[in-house]
Structure formats: structure tokens, C-alpha cells
Amino acid sequence: MKNALMMMVLGCALIASAPGCKKSETEKPSSTENATTAAKKAAPDTHAHADGTTHEAHGSAPEEEENHDHAHDEVSLGTAAIGELKVEFAQGHGKIEAGKEGHLVVKLPYNDKGATIVRAWIGADDRLKSVVGKGEYAPSHDDYDVHAVAPDPLPSNPMWWVEIQEANGKKSLGSVKPLM
């Protein structure tokens, strides 16, 4: 019960502070939403944050997300080796903060049209107290968007940890230093 309350409080904080989103196909309208908002949430192209909230909850519409410049609030983290792959990274949502949602953009050195599974979390390699986010492939940019909530408190020297599972089943793990 205490964890559920904490997640609700954390979710409210994320709504107000998180500009980046990922798509979700199974949104359920709350009892306070009007029919137009509920219909938008039911559409397959509706976006949701890592906590399941939508753009409507923080004042922007999904079509605004589709039409904006993908890199509007992203800062390059450079390139890092994940297994044998040289992967490019960028971070959105500003600096990493304890208990806040972070946004990682992962650009693989190949295009497999989303067949790769990308997971990422903020913290330590053991995932202790970390929320793991699964990347959503964005075909218009040929990259993956991952949303994850940083643990609170942050461990000393937190990293973005990234697990890449290629279409052939091979998994690789590596990390990149976040903006702090």
C-alpha cells in the first residue's frame, strides 16, 4: 500500500515535469475525462509516459509530439560500446534526478526496423531500486526511446545501463554516463 501511494505521488510529479513520451495502445479513461479525451486515448497512436499518463494530462496533444523535432530537448551523451556495438546516445528531460523520469535515446549502428529489444535503467548494473524501461522503436528517426525513473536515493555515480537484445537473441550490456 505504501509503495502504491508512493507511485501515485511520483506519477503526479512526472506529469508536471516530463516532456518526452512513448506510445501506448491500452489507455483507459478516468471517470473525469470527457468523450473527446477518452476517444483520443483509445486511439493506437496515443502517447504515454513511463507511469502510463498521457499528453492530455500535462497539456499537449499526441499530434504535437508527432510533428515536433525529435531532438528538441535532447543532449548528446556521445557513443559507447555495448558489447561489440558502437551505440549513440542522447538524453532528454534534462538532468537525472532522484525519483524523476529520465529519457534516453538509443541509436544502434544498424537498422533492423525495431526487431532489437532495448532496455535501460538509471542506477547501478544490478538494477537495485531501478525502474527498467523498454525502448520503443521510432521508425521516423531509426532509434529507440526509453523512459525510466531514477531510484531515490540515487546511488553514487549512477549510470544509464543499457541491455540490447539483438534479433538473433544475443544480449549485450553496457553503460553511458548521464547528464547530472
Buried b or exposed e, range 50-76, using 16+ CB within 10 angstroms: bbebbbbbeeeebeebeeeebeeebee
What cell does 166 get? 539483438
pLDDT, position 9: 44
How far is 102 from 98, CA to CA, in rounded Å? 10
Q: Which residue has the higher pLDDT, 106 or 18?
A: 106
Q: Which residue has the higher pLDDT, 160 or 44?
A: 160
pLDDT, position 73: 83
- Domains belonging to the chain, first-starting first, are 2-67 (no CATH), 75-176 (2.60.40.1930)
Query: How far is Cα of residue 25 from the mean position of the Cα atoms in its chain?
Result: 16
Mean pLDDT of the chain: 74
Q: 16-30, 51-65, 165-179: lowest mean pLDDT where?
A: 16-30
Give the pLDDT confidence of 57-105 residue by residue, as tens digits.
Answer: 444 444 444 444 454 589 999 999 999 999 999 999 999 999 999 999 9
